[in-house]
Amino acid sequence: MAAAQKVVTVDLGASTLKVGEMGLTKGGGITLLRFGVAELGLDPNKEEDRGPFVTAALAKLFKDQGVRGREVLLSISGQSVFMRFVKLPPVAPEQIEQVVAFEAQQNVPFPINEVTWDYQMMPTRSGNEAEAVIVAIKKDVLEADIRAVENAGVRIRQVDVAPFALLNAFRYSEPQNDECALIIDMGARSTNLVFVEKSSFWIRNVPIAGNQISQSIGNELQEPFVASETLKKGKGFVSLGGVYADPEDADAARISKLIRSTMTKLHNDINRSIAYYRTTLNGTPPKRVFLAGGSSQLPYLDLFIADKLGLPVAFFNPLRNVALGAGLSSPYLQQNYCYTAELVGLALRQTGSCPAEVNLEAPTLAARADKKRKQPYFFAALLAWILIFVCLALYYYQQTVLARRTAQQLTTQTAGLQKVAPDIVKLSRQADALQQTVDLAVRLGQERNAWPSILAALNDKIPQGVWITQLVPAFDPLAASASAARPGRAPGGPNGRRNGGPEERAAAPRNGVNSLLGNYQPPTDQINVLVINGLYHSNDKTEKIDSARLGDFVQSLSDLPYFDIDTRKESETLTSFTTSETDPASFAQKFSMHLKLKEPIELRP
């Protein structure tokens, strides 16, 4: 079946780097297209930055094996992570994440803000008690591994842990039954013990593996680590002991016994783990044992484990249900198939749901994933802005076309109106002249009625016992100047003439000619003040009227619309009066008033 999708998987171990290119078929099948293993060449006794070694080894593997994918799935060794199975109190499903976060803070031996962690809920073993597995790794350790891998020119899509990838590969490759199986995954620095029972699992990491064997050989033979590693791979095997004869090679015999001693320590840890799994976790004892990992290839290791545990032991074959590409080297694959389990488990994460799923999202990957999640919104916003500008451009284009069309129509109409413009100007002037005539006629009618209205108002407001002896119209130049300063009024009358033009002012009476007017002038064009003289009773022989009645008379006149009277300055209106105290012999007392008009009366049109 043709591959519908390709994924590249990378398993970063303590001493080896494995790369696989997988084809995922539409039916969920997997095809191994390319595969390679490389030693990192690190000495565990030296403090070395393994980043450059990882980058160089990965770049060489990609080149030698012809791997073309640039986006990879990465698994890191179980020895690098902290893993803890915790029991949870009975809570509502929506509160589980909050409870697990609390448990992570309590169980992870580092400040929670310094680690990247994830969890997975476990199937219930017994009763209703929920259980979760928490996986955590320090951010700086994870970031260093990610940086080393991506420096080879690839981008990491997802980070998994090797024990979980191994479990997923086991579930995919081995027939499922209810018996408990134990996977012994021996790497360089540590051994992962994976208990698989029904739909549940339990994992423990033991710090005994290939490097400890090489270290014991080096200590015994006084050899450096690299030489000890070479001796282990060239002459090493697990001594069966008992009646079995030693090999003729003395070094091989010594090495085999050293390896058996180390494997005996591992066997003790395996027994303790089985006991814990049975008693504390209520699991059943394993019925089958599978060996996996690079260090599991030691000769006679399977016989040693079978003898010690009394169980059938087999080498785990991760490629049982995996199709092999035509370009693979069969001898190379046969020699290194033990390194493919994690690669297959990583690829299975892309085919659907897996028994074990965690994702260690480092800050770098989280920021990249967040940016990727936001990209659709960014492009949608960008597209929206583009559409807005396109719509605005179309709108303004339509408005421009409409404006040009309207301007053309107005130009045509303007050309037609320009022909009749002289007639319109002539008619407008005629209309203005007629309006002025009408305004003049209306004003003359109003001024004709002004005198009867003023005299009637005076007669209505004059108090009992007061009478007017003289009423003389006059013109006050000062009041005319103030009126001319108001907005909208021309100096003088409505036609802009002042009372008494140059010729008339020359003929105006001077002081002494008409003493009654005082500082006022006889009106010629306009009347804006009335000079009133009168008498009022203020004698005991007649009706006694107080002079205050004259003030009331002024106050009542101020309420009329004809007179401009400031009641706060009564003396400007009631200019003089006599009283019985000043002139006790008079039958009546005199008073004078100057009433300024709010609207002057025009004497000429």
- Give Rg (Cα) of the chain: 58
CA 131 remoteness from chain centre: 37
563-571 long-range contacts, Cβ below 8 Å, gap at least 24? 563/595, 563/596, 563/597, 563/598, 564/596, 564/597, 564/598, 565/595, 565/596
The answer on pLDDT for 484 being more than 80 is no
**Is the pTM of the predicted complex or chain greater than 0.75?**
no
The answer on pLDDT for 499 being more than 70 is no
Which position has the higher pLDDT, 42 or 493? 42
Report pLDDT for 502: 38
d(CA 167, CA 158) in angstroms, rounded, equals 17
Facing residues of 475 across strands? 521
The enclosing H or E element of 142 equals: helix 139-150
Main-chain phi, psi angles of 80, to 5 degrees: -85, -15
Q: Looking at residues 388-411, what average pLDDT do you find?
A: 89
Main-chain phi, psi angles of 435, to 5 degrees: -65, -40
Q: Looking at residues 8-12, what average pLDDT do you find?
A: 95
CB 84 within 8 A of CB 205: no
Nearest to 522 by CA among 543, 544, 538, 504: 504
Check residue 300 and give left, alpha or beta (phi > 0: left; psi -120 to 50: alpha).
Answer: left
Report pLDDT for 459: 87
Read off the pLDDT of residues 232-247 as tens digits, 9 standing for 90 and up: 989 999 988 766 777 8
Q: Tell me yes or no: is domain 1-77+139-174+317-361 CATH 1.10.1760.20.
A: no
Check residue 282 and give left, alpha or beta (phi > 0: left; psi -120 to 50: alpha).
Answer: left
% of the chain exceeding 90 in pLDDT = 40
Q: How confident is the model at residue 542 (pLDDT cuts 50, 70, 90)?
A: low
Q: What angle do CA 194, 168, 19 make, to 5 degrees?
A: 105
Give the residue range(s) of CATH 3.30.420.40 domains in the chain.
1-77+139-174+317-361, 175-315
Give, in order, the Cα–Cα distances in Å from 290 to each of 207, 450, 478.
19, 128, 126
Read off the pLDDT of residues 166-177 as tens digits, 9 standing for 90 and up: 999 999 998 777
d(CA 403, CA 415) in angstroms, rounded, equals 18
How many CB atoms neighbour CB 31 within 10 A? 19
How many CB atoms neighbour CB 43 within 10 A? 14
Q: Looking at residues 110-139, what average pLDDT do you find?
A: 86
Nearest to 341 by CA among 4, 32, 23, 24: 32
Q: Looking at residues 428-456, what average pLDDT do you find?
A: 81
CA 347 remoteness from chain centre: 36
The answer on pLDDT for 213 being more than 80 is yes
The answer on pLDDT for 489 being more than 80 is no
d(CA 579, CA 538) in angstroms, rounded, equals 7
The answer on pLDDT for 19 being more than 90 is yes
Average pLDDT value over all residues in the chain: 85
Report pLDDT for 493: 46
Q: Which of 21-35, 96-110, 436-450, 506-520 has the lowest mean pLDDT?
A: 506-520
Which position has the higher pLDDT, 47 or 16? 16
Q: CATH says 175-315 is which class? A: alpha beta
Q: How confident is the model at residue 509 (pLDDT cuts 50, 70, 90)?
A: very low
Main-chain phi, psi angles of 341, to 5 degrees: -60, -50
d(CA 31, CA 328) in angstroms, rounded, equals 11
Q: How confident is the model at residue 500 (pLDDT cuts 50, 70, 90)?
A: very low
The enclosing H or E element of 392 equals: helix 363-448
Q: How confident is the model at residue 442 (pLDDT cuts 50, 70, 90)?
A: confident
Report pLDDT for 63: 92
The answer on pLDDT for 33 being more than 70 is yes
The answer on pLDDT for 383 being more than 60 is yes
Q: Looking at residues 465-487, what average pLDDT do you find?
A: 78
Report pLDDT for 174: 87
Sequence-separated (6 or more) residues with CB below 8 Å from residue 50: 40, 42, 148
DSSP codes joined into one string, 507-573: HS--TTT-TTTTT-B--SSEEEEEEEEEEE-B-TTS-B--THHHHHHHHHHHTSTTB---GGGGGGT
The answer on pLDDT for 492 being more than 50 is no
What's 594's DSSP letter?
A: E
Report pLDDT for 364: 78
Which position has the higher pLDDT, 103 or 49? 103
**Token couple for 578:** 């006599």
DSSP, collapsed to helix, strand or coil, labels residue 415 as helix
The answer on pLDDT for 428 being more than 90 is no
Q: What is the 3-state secondary structure (H, E, C) of 94-141?
A: HHHHHHHHHHHHHHCCCCHHHEEEEEEEECCCCCCCEEEEEEEEEHHH
Report pLDDT for 375: 74
